[in-house]
Amino acid sequence: MLTATEDRLLKYIEGRARENVKGKAFYKMTNILEYAFWMPEEKAYEVLKNIMARKNIGNSKNDIINEYIDMLKKGYGSIQEQVDVFGGDKVSSVRDTAERRLEKYEGGTFFDVLRDIYKIPDENIIELTEKYLEFLNSPSFIFRLEKETFHKFLESDLGELDKQFDRFVNL
Amino acid sequence: MTVSNQELFKYIEKRAKYNVKDKTFFRNTDILKEAFLISDDKAYEILKDIMSRKSIKNTKEAVVDEYLNMLGTGYDSLKEQVELFGGHKLAAIKKEAEFKFRKFNGGTIIDVFKEVYNVEDKDMPFIIMRYMESLTAEEFAFKVNVNTFHKFLEENLDELDKQSKRYGL
């Protein structure tokens, strides 16, 4: 059984891995593993050998990624280490930094929050706001722009998550 | 004044001030005509009435405020004044929106604007930015909903007029 954190991190790894191979074509199955999980060639061979010895899987990008995710889930490798390979748990890092900075927030508009707390440059504010608003759904006209849904949005959009992570790193 | 009269009065006040904002006038009757969309004759009559009772300053604000005062104390019908302004637009918009929400199946705020409020794509970024600029909160929790949006329309008469036009009211 995975803990809630492991479960979340595994989903994060999965999202990241799919993003890493998106729009790319590969000739060798090891290349898929190298790109998706940022692993060295040697390790990719090792993982692939392990898979082949156990079962027959299709050779699509998705088949390989799903299989390795399943292996991580079953304890083949450390979930935390894989997250570290991807540069750490950016979702938690962004959340924590935002939380700390929000303590000093004195009120204002949503754009003040984006500018002052999240350090988003003016030229990116409209685009980001539209993406965030597209992410929020409601059966009627009731939306709450708040940190929980904003962080969920960043979690769902790895490109924006990376950008936000970098903004906080460069403070 | 009853609650609904108070509401009408506030609307008249806002609309009258909005009508003369950033404009300059040579004659006091012109101020009244422009602010309250009344006829030349009526403006003269009102001004005569004012002059006979008291002396007020020669400014836009003083003239508009004095007639608002008179309306507030029953000089003329608030309802008729609102009709001169083209009716109570917010009430009409609320009613129309309610009707259109019945057919709304959910979605994003952009879907709401498109399907319920008939906002055109080209106007979308502007209305979103402006509406969201109008919302403030002590923490990162902003309420984007039908009430705050109608409040936004109420407070920005140019947006109210635009919405009224979108509904063909």
* Nearest-angstrom CA–CA distance, B147 and B149: 5
How many C-beta atoms surround the C-beta of residue A50 within 10 A? 13
The maximal CA–CA distance of chain B, rounded, in angstroms, is 60
What pTM was estimated for this model as a whole?
Answer: 0.82
Backbone angles phi and psi of B103, in degrees to 5: -100, 0
The two three-digit tokens of residue A164, written as one number = 């936000």
* Nearest-angstrom CA–CA distance, B42 and A118: 57
Among the partner-chain residues A111, A133, A139, the one whose CB lies closest to the CB of B133 is: A111
Residue with tokens 């790109």: A35
* Nearest-angstrom CA–CA distance, A50 and B128: 53
> pLDDT at position A32, please?
96
Give the C-alpha distances (Å, rounded to integers) separating A35 from A39, A74, A166, B69, B73. Answer: 7, 22, 22, 75, 78
pLDDT tens for A71-117 read 999 999 899 999 999 999 999 999 999 999 999 999 999 999 999 99
Contact indicator for A9, A83 with CB cutoff of 8 Å: yes
Partnered with residue B124 across adjacent β-strands are: none
Q: Do A144 and B101 touch (CB under 8 A)?
A: no
* Nearest-angstrom CA–CA distance, A83 and A71: 15
Among the partner-chain residues A107, A145, A147, the one whose CB lies closest to the CB of B144 is: A145
* Nearest-angstrom CA–CA distance, B151 and B33: 28
Q: Per-residue pLDDT tens, chain A, 171 aa: give them.
A: 789 999 999 999 999 999 999 999 999 999 999 999 999 999 999 999 999 999 888 888 999 999 999 999 999 989 999 999 999 999 999 999 999 999 999 999 999 999 999 999 999 998 999 999 999 999 999 999 999 999 999 999 999 999 999 999 987
* Nearest-angstrom CA–CA distance, A29 and A52: 11
> Could you give the 3-state DSSP secondary structure of residue B41?
helix
* Nearest-angstrom CA–CA distance, B98 and B90: 12
Q: Do B104 and A137 touch (CB under 8 A)?
A: no
Contact indicator for B113, B92 with CB cutoff of 8 Å: no
Among the partner-chain residues A108, A111, A137, the one whose CB lies closest to the CB of B107 is: A137
Partnered with residue A138 across adjacent β-strands are: B107
> pLDDT at position B1, please?
55
Q: In the A/B pair of chains, how many CB contacts fall below 8 A? A: 86
* Nearest-angstrom CA–CA distance, B35 and A90: 57
